[in-house]
């Protein structure tokens, strides 16, 4: 198995451990099953997005499109597939969407993000600018051995700090609020480090496609934030009909 797929798989396993630890005993079976469904959709989305972006490469041999264990996964497709899975599962299981995101997606985000960036470093993709070997910030890039700015390792470190940001925020106590905040922070991490990447990528309307994906993630996180933070406030401000009638 490709080292990239192996490390991403490790991230998925660590994410499932987080789902288990965060769940109440009576909800663990439901949450683990739903999280597995989210991971499956994330895998399908990651591979589909990669194949679509690099369609000319797979046109010569379409059978390689299914060989995801050889590497070739896309984080925008993974996140899109995961979000879609949460939405469909929440509807099918009749669970509140905000609580579903908190239980089935949020625990997966940091482990998968960290291991994906480490996997990118291990196979030599999503790399930063070249630096002199004697530079303080220079790190040897794998597998070519060139000295570069440690883009993948820096991004992995920031993603590793996401759970701490989530757990220590006093403003995010309601359903969906922590997920919105973590997705917003992750969107900024992906946007900044996508802009700083020096490896060749497809362009779309003047921007790299992963930059567009990071902007879309920021938009989704803002929409989730509106639902999680503002809807409860609006509902609390409504005057109950019974109270009006009594007056």
Residue 148 CA from chain centroid, whole number:
25
Provide the pLDDT for residue 247: 41
Q: Give 162-188 pLDDT, tens digit per residue.
A: 877 666 666 667 888 889 999 999 999
Tell me what the mean pLDDT of segment 80-100 comes to: 94
Provide the pLDDT for residue 108: 95
**How far apart are the C-alpha atoms of 76 and 145, rounded to whole Å?**
28
Q: What are phi and psi of 138, to 5 degrees?
A: -70, 135
Tell me what the mean pLDDT of segment 208-220 comes to: 95
**How far apart are the C-alpha atoms of 68 and 73, rounded to whole Å?**
7
Tell me what the mean pLDDT of segment 207-231 comes to: 91
Provide the pLDDT for residue 238: 63
Provide the pLDDT for residue 245: 41
Residue 4, C-beta contacts closer than 8 angstroms, at least 6 positions apart: 71, 73, 119, 120, 122, 123
Strand pairing category for 147-148 and 207-208? unpaired
pLDDT band at 4 (very low <50, low <70, confident <90, very high): confident
Q: What are phi and psi of 18, to 5 degrees?
A: -65, -40
Higher-scoring residue by pLDDT: 209, 245: 209
Q: Treating both helix axes as pointing N-terminal to C-terminal, what angle do 151-160 and 106-123 enclose, rounded to 10 degrees?
A: 160
pLDDT at 70 > cutoff 80: no
Provide the pLDDT for residue 3: 87
Interior CA angle at 185 toward 184 and 191, to 5°? Answer: 90
Mean pLDDT for the chain overall? 87
Contact 35, 21 (CB under 8 A): no
State the pTM of this model.
0.86
Provide the pLDDT for residue 236: 67
Q: Which of 45-49, 56-60, 69-73, 191-195 ranks highest by mean pLDDT?
A: 191-195
Provide the pLDDT for residue 2: 80
Secondary structure class of 139 (helix, strand, coil): strand
Q: In this predicted structure, which of 38-42, 60-64, 153-157, 162-166 has the lowest mean pLDDT?
A: 162-166
**How far apart are the C-alpha atoms of 154 and 114, rounded to whole Å?**
10
Tell me what the mean pLDDT of segment 147-167 comes to: 88
Provide the pLDDT for residue 45: 94
Contact 176, 226 (CB under 8 A): no
Q: Give 108-146 pLDDT, tens digit per residue.
A: 999 999 999 999 999 889 999 999 988 888 888 877 788
């Amino acid at each position: 198995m490709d080292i990239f797929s192996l490390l991403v798989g490790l991230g998925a396993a660590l994410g499932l451990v987080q789902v288990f630890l965060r769940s109440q005993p009576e909800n663990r079976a439901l949450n683990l099953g739903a999280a597995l469904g989210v991971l499956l959709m994330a895998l399908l989305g990651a591979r589909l997005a990669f194949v679509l972006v690099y369609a000319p490469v797979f046109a010569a041999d379409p059978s390689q499109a299914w060989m995801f264990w050889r590497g070739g996964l896309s984080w925008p497709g993974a996140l899109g597939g995961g979000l879609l899975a949460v939405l469909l599962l929440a509807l099918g299981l009749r669970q509140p969407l905000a609580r579903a995101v908190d239980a089935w997606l949020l625990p997966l985000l940091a482990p998968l993000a960290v291991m994906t960036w480490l996997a990118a470093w291990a196979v030599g993709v999503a790399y930063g600018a070249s630096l002199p070997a004697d530079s303080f910030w220079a790190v040897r890039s794998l597998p070519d051995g060139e000295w570069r700015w440690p883009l993948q390792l820096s991004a992995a470190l920031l993603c590793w700090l996401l759970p701490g940001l989530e757990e220590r925020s006093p403003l995010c106590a309601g359903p969906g609020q922590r997920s919105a905040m973590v997705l917003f922070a992750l969107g900024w991490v992906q946007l900044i480090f996508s802009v700083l990447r020096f490896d060749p990528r497809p362009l779309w309307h003047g921007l790299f496609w992963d930059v567009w994906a990071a902007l879309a993630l920021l938009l989704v996180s803002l929409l989730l934030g509106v639902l999680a933070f503002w809807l409860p406030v609006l509902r609390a401000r409504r005057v109950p009909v019974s109270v009006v009638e009594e007056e």
